[in-house]
Amino acid sequence: MSEQNEIKLTEEMLAKAAAAGEKELERPRAIAVRYNAERVRLVIALVSGAMLDIPLPMTERLANASERERSVMALAPFGLGTHWPLIDEDLYVPRLVERYTASVIGLAAS
């Protein structure tokens, strides 16, 4: 890499990156996740102690996946995501929590 293309990291840049990482870890994170094939639901245990039992989000890949492909899953680093390696699909845990809690709040308000 030429000197012209080098990125110079400053203390300020490193501090901003560290702060962004700390903020990300404040988001809802999972400690365990499993697929309930009988009920077609995703069960997520959160770091906070809460348990989500939600309908499996039907992305195109998950909708077309076999039960075996749906059941082989892993948590992403820090519990921020769920990964299905056999179909190369990922879901972001904080977004699932946001979507689920918004729907529950909406039902309670009606």
Q: Could you tell me the CATH number of the domain that includes residue 62?
A: 3.30.2020.40
Per the structure, the complete domain to which residue 80 belongs is given by 3-109
Of the pLDDT bands very low, low, confident and very high (cuts 50, 70, 90), residue 86 is very high
Measured CA distances, 61 to 45, 52, 100 (Å): 23, 22, 21
Q: pLDDT of 6-63, one tens digit each?
A: 888 888 877 777 776 666 667 789 999 999 999 999 999 999 899 999 998 889 999 9
Contact (CB, 8 A) for 61 and 84 = yes
Pairing state between β 51-55 and 41-46: antiparallel
Instruction: Tell which wins on pLDDT, 67 or 103.
Output: 67
Q: Over the stretch 69-83, which tens digit does the pLDDT of each residue have? A: 999 999 998 999 999
Written as six digits, the tokens of 107 are 């039902």
Encoding tokens for residue 78? 């820090």
pLDDT surpassing 90 at residue 105: no
Total domain count, the chain? 1
